Amino acid sequence: MLARSIVENCDFGGRVSKWLSIGGPNMGVSAFPHCEGGIFCYPVNHVTKALVYSNYIQNHVGPAGYFRDVSNLETYLSSSHFLPDLNNERSFSSERKDRVFFI
C-alpha cells in the first residue's frame, strides 16, 4: 500500500506503466492482526476500534492508517488519515490518476 501511495501521490517526473501488488491490504484491516476471535481478542479489538481513529493514534501509529471499521464507516471516512484517500473513498484526484497508466 505504501508503494501504491508513492506511485499515485509523488511527482517523480514520469508515469508508472506497470505496478503489481500481491497480498496487500488494499481495503484495509478490520481487526487487530491475528486476533479475529477468542477470549482475549474481543477486548483487544474493542479497545482498538474505540481508539484507532483518535487524532493521536492516527498521527503516531503507522498501522492505524490501514484500519477500516466497516461497522463505523462515517468515522472511518472522517478520521482516517491514509486509506480513504488512497482508495478514493473520500475524494478523487485526477492528478493522481494521470500519474499512473493502467493496462
Q: pTM for this one?
A: 0.72
The answer to whether residue 102 scores a pLDDT higher than 60 is no
Cβ 53 vs Cβ 75: under 8 Å: yes
Give 45-77 pLDDT, tens digit per residue: 999 999 999 999 999 998 899 899 989 999 999
- What's the helix, strand, coil split of the chain in %, to 5? 50, 5, 50
Q: Are 46 and 53 in contact (CB under 8 A)?
A: no
Map grid coordinates 514520469 to a residue.
Answer: 14
> Shortest CA distance to 84 belongs to which of 4, 25, 27, 32?
27
Residue with grid cell 494521470, as numbered in its chain: 98
CA trace torsion 92, 32, 64, 50 (10° rounding): 100
Q: For the chain, give the percent of residues with pLDDT over 70.
A: 83
> According to the model, what pLDDT value does residue 60 have?
96
The structural domains of the chain, with segments of one domain joined by +, span 2-20+28-99
pLDDT of residue 99: 61
- Residue-level pLDDT at 95: 66
Q: What is the pLDDT of residue 90?
A: 79
Does residue 78 carry a pLDDT above 90? yes
Which of the 8 DSSP states describes residue 89?
Answer: S
Residue 103, pLDDT above cutoff 50:
no
- What is the identity of the amino acid at 50? A
